[in-house]
Chains A and B, each alone.
Chain A
Amino acid sequence: MSLPIDITREILIREETAGSGKYGKAPSERSVEELLNAGIINLDKPPGPTSHEVVAWIKRILKLDKAGHAGTLDSLK
């Protein structure tokens, strides 16, 4: 039971240059504040309240000014 997106993909290399690595940082290095500003919660929405209501709660709990959702059950952003 799999969706088309479950296919495994190989990696093709065009250029090896790794670069200096001076810029940016790995997602795992982000601060909690940074995660709050651009993060995702895979949320188990309880039956009853609407997704819209749950998003409003999440915004209040986490003191966010912007949040949305991508589905009636989980994954709130």
Chain B
Amino acid sequence: MGSATKIIPALMSAGKEYVCVMRIHGDFDLNELQNIIKEFIGPIYQRPPLRSAVKRVVRVRRVYYIKVLEVSGRDVLMKVGVEAGTYIRKLCHDIGEVLGCGAHMQELRRTRVGPFKEDETLVTLQDVVDAYKIWTELGEEEYIRKVILPVEAGVSHLPKVIIKDSAVDAICHGAALAVVGILRVETGIKVGDLVALFTQKGELVALGKSAMRSEEMVSSRRGIAVRVTRVIMRPGTYPPLWKSKKKKRDIY
């Protein structure tokens, strides 16, 4: 909602989990199917289907896990964890090809997008309507606060970089983050990773691409640590403690 829509790309590129029903076009041996499914874990090749939003060239996608939950006749209920951009319909079809008799995806439900799962935060449309009414008509905030999560919840899957108060406003204006503006860094950041910049109070400032590894961010004397790709916080939320280079600006 509102400015939180700016983090949508960070969710689009995040891993997904689905529960699907795969219908097999013939009788099959469950052990054989399980063995074939194992072959589909890891990197797989997929050509996007005819009706798709992207260019139809073969691409590699990662399948993290496939778990058969239930088998009923020729229907196989399974849970699949995949990289963004993996087509589950195609996956089912391809499993059917290897099995020999063919298969198709009968039903699909997404059960996870990055940090969002089917947990206590999952609400129905009716929950939203009720919570909004209780807030506007009775002035009771408890329910609406359970329904609407802060924007920070949408980037909890990204590695965090905690920055100084003095660096916040410059970042809000799109400046790159220099190492001297950093307080703390989460481990495991590689060059090019999408990272989230936070204030000490836990507010999301911006998203960016890292230009260093975590270790370099804490040990380097100088240099750019993160290039900002998307600013979330409104400029002016924190005071501008950075010096403006007037002369340089005049050139433009």
Interface residues in chain A, defined as those with a beta carbon under 8 Å from any beta carbon in chain B: 1-5, 7, 9-28, 30, 32, 35-44, 46, 54, 57-58, 61-62, 64-77
Contact = CB atoms under 8 A, between A and B. Distances in A.
Given A3-B64, A36-B148, A15 B1 contact: no
B102 to A, nearest CB: 25
User: Which DSSP category, helix, strand, loop or mixed, fits chain B's interface?
Assistant: mixed
Contacts of B183: 13-17
Contacts of B115: 5
A14 B121 CA distance: 34
Given A5-B114, A12-B215, A40 B187 contact: no
Contact of B187 (A3, A4, A10, A69): A10
Contact of B217 (A10, A14, A26): A14
14 contacts: A12-B217, A13-B184, A27-B152, A38-B232, A40-B1, A40-B4, A40-B154, A44-B118, A58-B1, A61-B132, A66-B5, A67-B2, A74-B113, A77-B8
B28 interface: no
User: Which DSSP category, helix, strand, loop or mixed, fits chain A's interface?
Assistant: loop
Please provide the 9 A-B residue pairs with the shortest distance between their CB atoms, ordered closest to farther. Answer: A3-B15, A73-B110, A70-B11, A27-B150, A39-B148, A9-B186, A5-B157, A37-B2, A68-B5
Interface stretch (B30-38, B43-51, B52-60, B199-207): B199-207
Contacts of B110: 71-74
A62 B128 contact: yes
B116 interface: yes
Interface of B: 1-5, 7-8, 11-12, 14-17, 64-65, 67, 79, 81, 109-116, 118-119, 121-125, 128-129, 132, 135, 141, 144-145, 147-154, 157, 159-160, 164-166, 168, 179, 182-188, 199-203, 214-215, 217-218, 232, 237-239
Nearest to A68: B5
B200 A41 contact: no
Contacts of B153: 40
Given A40-B153, A75-B116, A11 B187 contact: yes
Contacts of B188: 7, 9
Given A9-B186, A18-B200, A32-B144, A58 B128 contact: yes
A11 B124 CA distance: 36
A77 B150 CA distance: 10
Contact of B203 (A2, A27, A37): A27
Contacts of A38: 1-4, 150-151, 232
